[in-house]
Structure 1
Amino acid sequence: MHFTTRFQWGFLLTTIVSVIACTNNDIDPNATAGTVSKGDADFTKYVAVGNSLTSGYADGGLYRDGQLNSYPNILAGQFKSVGGGDFIQPLFTTEQANGTGYIRLKKLPASATSLPTFDTTKTQLAVRSLSSTGGVLYTKFTGTNQNLGVPGIRIADVLRVGYGSKEGNPYFERFLDDQAAATTYLQYISTNLAGATFFSCWLGNNDALGYATSGGVGAENETRGLTSVSLFTTNFTAVMSKLTENNRKGVVIGIPNVVQTPFFTTATAQIKTLLQAQGIPGLAIQSKSAPGGVKISGDGDYFLLSIAPVLTSFITRGVGLSAANPIPDQYVLDASEVQTLTSRINSFNGIMKAQADAKGVAYVDPNSALNQISSATGLVQSGITYTGSYLQGGVYSLDGIHLTPAGYALMANEIIKGINAKYNATVPQVNPANYRRVLLQN
C-alpha cells in the first residue's frame, strides 16, 4: 500500500475551511419574548455541580475566558432577570489568565503541504508548585463558590476520600484548604449548598469519556475504564439526595453521545475518504474483539484525533499496512467498543433520568441539540449554522471534545428550555451569536 503526502496531512487540512469569530448580534428568534417569570422555581442562589463542562474547560485547558463563558455563568446571567442573585465562580485572576494553559490556533496552513500552527506556550499560568508525585498544583481558590465544576471528576469519585489531596485531582485540590484534603466531593457539595435554592448537575460524562478517548483501554471502575452500573447508581443517588434536600429544585443534564464529537469523527471521516480514493479497504487495527486481536478498519470504527501527531511516523514505519504491524489500540475505538460505550451511557442516562423524575426536578437530554448539530444540516440559530465539524463548526473547541463559548451558549439554551418546561417559567434564552467560536489568535 502506498500513502501520499495528501494522506499524511489531508485530514487536518480539509477541516480548516473557515475559522471565524461570530459577530452576528441578531436576537435569537427562539428566545423567550415578553414577560419573564421564575414560575415554580426559585433562582435566588444557584449552585452548579459538575465536571469540566461545568467549569468552562475548553481548548484542552481551564483558563479565565473559558470560565467566564461557562454555561453556569451564562445561566446565572439569565436567572438574574427572574430574581437570581450574583454567581461566584473560582476564576483565575487576570494576572494568571491562562490558568492551566490551553491550545491556541495561531496560523492557518499556507498550502496543501503545510500544517496549521498551534500555540501551547505556557505563560501567565496559575501553577504554584508540583506535588510529591510530580503533578501540577494550581493556585488556590478557597471560600464561597457556586461553580463546583471539577475537570476529570467521575460519579465514581464523588465519595473518594483524598480525591482533593495533593496526590489527587489538582482541580479539586485547588478548592480545598490543606487541612481539608480528606474532604470528599459530596461533602464539598454539601458545604457549598448552604442557602442554595436551585442547582444544576452535569456529572457522569467522565465515567464514560476516559474509556472512549483511550480507545477502550482500561478495566471497569479504573480511571480509563467504564464505571460499573452499580457504583454509578449508588453514588449518583447519594448526590441527588444531597442536591434535592428540603425540596430544592434544579436540573440534571444527561451524558452526550461522545463519539459524535470531532475527537472521534474528524480523523475517521478523512482517513476513510482518502482510503476510498486510493482503493484501500481499510487499515490494520488492534481490536480486542477480533480473532487474533487484529482486524481491518471499517464502518463503525473510529480513529481518534490523538493519532494526528504520530500519523507521519506510522506511515513511515508502515504501521497499519499489515496485520503484523497494526495501529495500536489506543488510537482507535472499534465498533465493538463503541457498542459497549453506547450501552453503558444509555444505562447511566436511564439512572440519571429516573433519579430526576423521582425527585421531581428537570432532566435535559443534551443529545437533542448535539445530534442536530452533528447532522448534515446542522443547527441553525439567528441565521448561523452550527455543525459538529472540527474548527469551523463553531461548537467544539480545539481539543475536539469540549465546547466553545458559542457551544456553551447553545447548551445553556437547551437547559433553559428544560427548566422553563418543568417549572412553568419563562427564563429568557441567550443569543449564541454573541459568543465567540474558535478564534484565530494574533
Structure 2
Amino acid sequence: MKKILISTVAVSALLLTVSCKTDFDRDVSSVVVTSGNADFKNYIALGNSLTAGYRDGTLYSDGQNESYPSMIAKQMQLAGGGAFKQPMMPNNVGGFTNLFNASGGTSFYGKLTLKVVDGALSPVPSAPGADLDNVTAGRPYNNMGVPGARVSHLLAPGYGNPAGLMTTPKTANPYFVRFASSTTTSVIADFIQQQPTFFSLWIGSNDALLYALAGGDSTIEPLTPPTEFATYYNLLISQIATTNAKGVIANIPSVTSIPSLTTIPYNPLTVAVLGQGSVEAGNANIDALNAQLYGPLNQILTTLGAGDRIKPLSKTAANPLLLKDESIADLGAQITLVAANSGNPTLVALAPYLGATYGQARQAKAGDLVPLTTKSAIGSNATLPPTVPTSLAARGIAYPFEDKYVLTSTEVAEVNSAITAYNQTIKAAADAKGYAFVDANAKMVQLNATSGIQFDGVKYTATFVTGGSFSLDGVHPTGRGYAILANEFIKAINNKYGSTLPFVNVNTYSGVTFP
C-alpha cells in the first residue's frame, strides 16, 4: 500500500517536488518509519474540544474517531507507539439529556445536521442522545481533550466533580466528569499520573473564542487577560515538564477568522429579508421604518454631530444591522432632550424611550462580526414598554442588538491583541522547554486565503460548509480539517525529533454531509 510521508532530513532525497500548500503522495513505502529520538509508547493528548474531536456543535463517536490525536497515534504505532484509548461517547449523536440551562432546556444538544429550512439548507441541532454517562472504569485514556476548557481549567482541582455542574457559576465540566479519576482531581494531575512518554498540548483558544462568540459580552464569557493567560500557561507547562516527556505544543488560530464569525455579513437586511421574501412588503417595511424611526433618529443625531451613526434604510442596497456599541459616547440624554422639544407629537411621546434605547445605537459597519448563532435572532422581538409601537421591537432591525449578538470592530481588535500575546507566551514556552511547535495560526491564514490548502488535488478553505475544512458549527474542523491539522503536528514532530512518521491521507476522512 502506498504510504504518505512528509519531508524530513532522512527522506528529503526521495522527494523531488514540493509545494508549500500541497501534501505529498509519492510512494515511499521502502522508507522505514522510525521514532527518531522520541518515545511514542505512551502518547497523551491534552487540550480542549479541538483535541477531543468535537465537531458539528457537540462531541460524538464519529468525531472522536477522527480526532487529530487519534490520527497521530495511528502513525506513531508504526514507530513503536502504543494503544490510544479515548473516552468514547455512548452514541453517534452527542449531547446530554439531563443537563439543563436556566430556562429548563438542555444546554447540550446533539450534533448539527444539514436540513432544508424555508427552502434553504441550514444546520439544525439534533435531540441529545443520552444522559451524561461515566466512563471512569475504562481509564486511563490517552485523549484528555476536554471541550470548553480554558488553560486555567486544566489546572483546577474538582473540574471533574459532578456537584460542580449544579453550582453558580459552574466549577466542573461534564466532559471531564465522564472520565476524571476522582471528584477532587484535575486534568493535569490525571495526565501526570499516566506518566506519558510523549504528549501534545493544544489549549488556549477558548480563552479568547468564548468571549468572541458571546459578542464580546464579558458578563457571559470573559476574555482572559494576557498576563493571567501567561501565568496559567507557564504553570501548566511546568507541571507537564515534571514527566520528562517530549512533546509538541500548538499556538492559537485567529478565532475572528473562523466561519462562525465571518459567514453572516454585517449588512444582511435586504429588501427581500425585510419583506420575508416579498419585495413589495420589504419596500413597505422600509418606508415605515424610515418614517417611524430611522429618519427621525438620523435628524436628531445629525443635530448632535453624530448623524453617521444611523442613516435611513435603502431599498437598493443591503442595509446593516442595528446594534448597541458600548464603546461610543452615550447620547441618550441629548436624544431625549431634542426629541422632547421637537414639536413632533410622536417624538415627544417617545422621547424617553428613544434616549434610553438608542443612546449608544449605531448601524453595523465593515469590521463588525456577526456570530452564526445571531442569525436566528435577527428580527426576534424585544420587550418594549406598552407605549411603544410593536413595529419597533424587531432586534437588529428596529431594536438595537444587545452586546452579545455582535462582536464590534473594537472588540475584534481586543481579541486579536490578546491572541497575539497568548501566542507569544506559547512560542516562548516551546522554545524554553525544547518542545516541537505547531504554528496553527499560520495554517488558519492559509485556509482563509483564496488559494486555500491543496491535498492530492483537493482544495480546502475556511468557507462555511463548502470549504471542506470546517464542520457545521463553523468553529470546529471536519474530519478532513482535523487531518490537515494532524499533518501539521506530524511535520513539527518529525522536524524536531528526527522521526519519520507518515502523513495521514486528508481526503480519506469525512467532510460535511449533505442531505
TM-score by length of 1: 0.82
Whether 1:313 and 2:389 are equivalent positions in the alignment is no
Q: 1:64 offset after TM fit, Å?
A: 0.5
Whether 2:113 is the aligned partner of 1:116: answer no
Partner of 1:235: 232
Measure how far apart 1:264 and its partner are: 0.4
Match of 1:375 among 436, 439, 449: 449
Deviation >6 Å, runs of 4+? 272-277
Cα distance between partner residues in 1 of 2:267 and 2:34: 48
| Residues 28, 430 of structure 1: 8 Å contact kept | no
Q: Aligned to 2:66, which of 61, 66, 69? A: 69
**Do the aligned residues in 1 keep the contact of 2:460 with 2:469 (CA within 8 Å)?**
yes
Aligned to 2:274: none
Alignment of 1:126-145 (within 5 A): 126-127=130-131, 137-142=132-137, 143-145=139-141
Identify unmatched segments of 5+ residues in structure 2: 1-21, 96-108, 165-171, 272-312, 331-359, 383-390
Q: Secondary structure of the equivalent of 2:420?
A: helix
Q: How far is the alpha carbon of 1:291 from its aligned partner?
A: 2.0
- Give the Cα separation in 2 of the matches to 1:390 and 1:72: 24
The alpha carbon displacement at 1:171 in A equals 0.8
Larger Rg: 2
The corresponding residue for 2:251 is 254
Query: Superposed, which structure 2 residues align to 1:208-223 within 5 Å?
Result: 208-218=208-218
Q: What's the CA shift for 1:62?
A: 0.6
After TM superposition, the structure 1 = structure 2 runs for residues 354-433 of structure 1, keeping only pairs within 5 Å, are 354-433=428-507
Across the two proteins, how many residue pairs are aligned to each other?
Answer: 391
Alignment-derived partner of residue 288 in structure 2: none
**Residues in 2 aligned to 1:235 and 1:203: alpha-carbon distance in whole angstroms:** 11
The separation in 1 between residues aligned to 2:124 and 2:213, in whole angstroms, is: 22
Deviation at 1:249, TM superposition (A): 0.8
User: Who is 1:43 aligned against?
Assistant: 40
- Hey, what's the Cα distance between the residues in 1 that align with 2:189 and 2:264? 41
Instruction: Flag the 1:277–1:203 CA change in 2: closer, same or farther, 3 A.
Output: farther
On the 8 A contact 1:105/1:116 being kept in 2, the answer is no
Q: CA deviation at 1:319?
A: 3.3
Q: CA shift at 1:238, angstroms?
A: 2.1
The residue that corresponds to 1:24 in the other structure is none
Aligned to 2:150: 154
Aligned mates of 2:415, 2:24 — CA distance in 1: 36
Are 2:49 and 2:148, in contact at CA under 8 Å, matched by a contact in 1?
A: yes
Q: How does 1:192-341 map to 2 (within 5 A)?
A: 192=194, 194=195, 196-218=196-218, 224-268=221-265, 271=268, 278-280=316-318, 282-292=320-330, 293-313=360-380, 317-321=393-397, 325-341=399-415
Cα deviation for residue 320 of structure 1 reads 3.3
One of 172, 176, 179 as aligned partner of 2:180: 176
Using the size of structure 2 for normalisation, the TM-score is: 0.71
Aligned equivalent of 1:20: none
Q: Alignment partner of 1:47: what SS?
A: strand
Moved more, 396-405 or 374-383: 374-383
Q: CA deviation at 1:214?
A: 0.3
Match of 1:78 in 2: 75
CA shift digits 1:347-386 (9 cap, x unpaired): 1111111111100001111122221111122111111111
Q: Secondary structure at the match of 1:403?
A: coil
CA shift at 1:42, angstroms? 1.4
Secondary structure, aligned partner of 2:492: helix
Aligned AA for 1:218? S
| Structure 1 residues 114 and 311, CA gap change in structure 2 (3 angstroms) | farther
- Sort the Cα spacing of 1:396 and 1:32 in 2 relative to 1 into closer, same or farther, 3 A: farther
Partners of 1:258 and 1:30 lie apart in 2 by 31
DSSP-derived class of the 2:93 partner: coil
Instruction: For residue 276 of structure 1, report the CA deviation from its aligned partner.
Output: 8.9
**1:189 CA drift (Å):** 1.9
Letter in 2 for 1:52: S
1:53 aligns with 2:58: no
Q: Give the drift of 1:299.
A: 1.7
C-alpha distance in 1, partners of 2:49/2:446? 23
Distance 1:366 1:330 in 2: 27
Aligned letter for 1:215?
A: G
- Aligned residue identity for 2:186: T
1:102 alignment counterpart: 110
What is residue 161 of structure 2 aligned with on the other side?
165
Change (3 A) 1:278 1:203: same
Could you tell me whether the CA contact under 8 Å between 1:70 and 1:405 is conserved in 2?
yes
Q: What value does the CA root-mean-square deviation take over the aligned residues?
A: 2.5
